[in-house]
Amino acid sequence: MATDYYATLGVAKDATPEQLKRAYRKMARELHPDVNPDADAQARFQEVTTAYEVLSDPKKRQIVDLGGDPMSSGGGAGAGAGGDPFAGFGGLGDIMDAFFGGGGPGGGRGPRSRVQPGSDALLRLELTLEECATGVNRDITVDTAVLCDACDGGGSRAGSAPSTCDTCGGRGEVQSVQRSFLGQVMTSRPCPVCRGFGEVITDPCQQCSGDGRVRARRTITVKIPAGVGDGMRVRLAGEGEVGPGGGPAGDLFVEVEELPHERFTRDGADLHCTVEVPMTAAALGTTLTLETLGGVNEELRVEPGTQPGAEHVLTGQGLPKLRSNGKVSGHGDLHVHLDVVVPTRLDDQQAELLRQLAAARGEEQPEPTVTANGNGHRSGLFSRFRSFGQR
């Protein structure tokens, strides 16, 4: 049973090309995968697109009106078993297309639709580390192609409609015959007058010059989730460029550009910072107050005898862990690295106090501490010289 392409588009059998286009444009905006990700909607979008391609081709539409189906394996009424010897291969026209690029018996591919999907757009957005941690709603200004409101994307002035191309007769392509070693070969190419659309806009819209879209600047609100990082992108469906002929808009991607922070560095969801501790405080021990990224004061206990490079981990004081589905799953940690500061300038009293401390600890003439090398043997400067001379 042949497919009812008129019912698929929701038009009458005597619908004009302009009515077909208007019906397809309306349904494509609702069912396009970029706008409606539902699986049923995607299947419906394919059906609507096929119906428009068939009915916008005069020859394929004639087959439909005669009760056939030009998209079936036989190619229409009277085809099938015993009707077309090439039916199992998609028809003789498909074989000619494969070898010569179109032009087989029964015509070529037909005109292409003027309505095309729009392209995606990309915008970069600078955020502070605090904004990346908490998320933010930000108004952004975008400059993209939008639907022309004067012609509703049709491209023609109000009250007029495109006319059939006289050069290709509405087929969207012109044919030429060339001689080759196989004999005469017919080839097809897009019509240079209508650019393959099969129709010409004789009275274009003054606002969009027949393109169906105009450039405009608009402000939209983007919601940045908590836990985003540098280089991550937030997708806004249908906020990109409107396609030619008023086609469905692409997507807008907002790419996060994270600004450096004066106190914290980031490693995924973990944060790192360095706290300077005086030599005396590291030796005697002390308690420090550290303000986290969220503005909470945390007490940090420095134990007596703390060495340079010691690390304290504040669990859960990092950034939210953003999952691929956009939800937060826990938080990272804050790693605090202690830098023991040795004084470089001492007055006489301070120097004398340190000498007394050194005498009390028996460190007036300290013995150098020799660490082990990678082989597990102690190796000092002079031993390395000796080793070099023995080679």
Pick the CATH number of 121-162+201-258 from 2.60.120.330, 2.60.260.20, 3.10.20.880, 2.40.10.10: 2.60.260.20
Instruction: Report if pTM > 0.75.
Output: no
Distance between CA atoms of 282 and 332, rounded to whole angstroms? 27
Which of 79-88, 287-296, 375-384 is the most confident on average?
287-296
Q: What CA–CA distance (Å, rounded) separates 155 from 371?
A: 81
d(CA 265, CA 222): 26
Q: Binding site for Zn(2+), residues?
A: 148, 151, 165, 168, 191, 194, 205, 208
Binding site residue list: 148, 151, 165, 168, 191, 194, 205, 208
Strand partners, 221: 139
Mean pLDDT for the stretch of residues 78-107: 39
Q: What is the pLDDT of residue 107?
A: 42
Mean pLDDT of 68-91: 47
Who wins on pLDDT, 43 or 256? 256
Bigger pLDDT: 384 or 302? 302
pLDDT tens, residue by residue, 370-388: 766 544 444 443 343 343 3
Distance (Å, whole) CA 329 – CA 211 = 47
Mean pLDDT of the chain: 81
Taking alpha carbons only, the member of 18, 19, 7, 21 closest to residue 52 is: 21
Q: Which stretches does DSSP call E strand in the chain?
A: 121-127, 136-147, 163-164, 173-180, 183-190, 199-200, 213-224, 233-236, 252-258, 265-267, 270-278, 286-291, 297-302, 311-314, 320-322, 328-331, 334-341
Least confident of 103-107, 164-168, 314-318, 344-348: 103-107
pLDDT class of 181 with cuts at 50, 70, 90: low
Q: What is the average pLDDT across 213-217? A: 93
Q: How far apart are CA 345 and CA 90, in angstroms?
A: 91
Q: For residue 171, which amino acid is it?
A: R
**CATH architecture classification, 5-100:** Orthogonal Bundle (1.10)
121-162+201-258 and 265-342, same CATH topology: yes
Q: Within the chain, what is the greatest distance between any pair of CA atoms?
A: 114
Helices (H), 251-297: 279-284
The structural domains of the chain, with segments of one domain joined by +, span 5-100, 121-162+201-258, 265-342
Protein fold of 265-342: HSP40/DNAj peptide-binding domain (2.60.260)
The predicted structure's pLDDT at residue 180: 63
What does the pLDDT read at residue 94? Answer: 41
